[in-house]
Amino acid sequence: MKEIPLGTTGRHHLLVTPETAIDFIGDERARVLSTPHMIAFMEWAAREAIRPYLDENEDSLGTLVDIRHLAATPVGMSVEFTATVTEVKGRRVMFRVEARDEKELIGEGRHERFVADIPRLVAALAAKKAN
């Protein structure tokens, strides 16, 4: 892993579709971006922010999410997800994450990722399954 500079930022853009919206309200006109999808795309932006600094056998795993979903975004609107590195401690990387639709801030919080050696992780997972 190379040194990850503070302020490194990743972004992800999304058009909210029925597949990324909640479907349990019962009225199609009330479908909005779901909280689990919002969090997943925040994580994606964070992962993409640090990927250029990782070695070939490394990737990052989410270890903490502390997110507030502040406003609803209807199907058909665009959302930009941003993750900015705020702290690096060894293999742990902390991010400030935000989601903004075309009108306002819809989500914010913090997210932590751990940089993992993939072959080592695969071996640990295989051992866990075997026991």
Residues 6+ positions from 43 with CB-CB distance below 8 Å: 62, 65, 111, 113
Structural domain of residue 91, as residue ranges?
9-130
Burial code (b: 16+ CB inside 10 Å, e: under 16) for 51-90 equals eebbeeebbbebeeeebebeeebebebebbbbbbbbebee
Report yes or no on 2 lying in a domain.
Answer: no
pLDDT bracket for residue 27 (50, 70, 90): confident
Report yes or no on 3 lying in a domain.
Answer: no
Q: Structurally, how many domains does the chain consist of? A: 1
Model's pTM, two decimal places?
0.92
Report yes or no on 113 lying in a domain.
Answer: yes
DSSP 61-84: EEEEEEEEE-S--BTT-EEEEEEE
Report yes or no on 57 lying in a domain.
Answer: yes
Residue 68, domain CATH? 3.10.129.10
> Catalytic residue among 8, 12, 20, 43, which?
43
> Catalytic residue among 13, 28, 35, 87, which?
35
> Catalytic residue among 8, 20, 69, 82, which?
69
Report yes or no on 4 lying in a domain.
Answer: no
Task: Tell me the per-residue pLDDT of 30-80, one tens digit each, with 9 for 90 and over.
Answer: 789 999 999 999 999 999 999 999 999 999 999 999 999 999 999 999 999
Task: Tell me the per-residue pLDDT of 104-129, one tens digit each, with 9 for 90 and over.
Answer: 999 999 999 999 999 999 999 999 99
Residue 60: both structure tokens together: 């990052």
Report yes or no on 26 lying in a domain.
Answer: yes
Q: Does the annotation count 69 as an active-site position?
A: yes
Report yes or no on 110 lying in a domain.
Answer: yes
Q: Does the annotation count 20 as an active-site position?
A: no
Report yes or no on 1 lying in a domain.
Answer: no
Please, are residues 44 and 37 in contact by the beta-carbon 8 Å criterion?
no
pLDDT at residue 25 above 90? no
Q: Does the annotation count 111 as an active-site position?
A: no
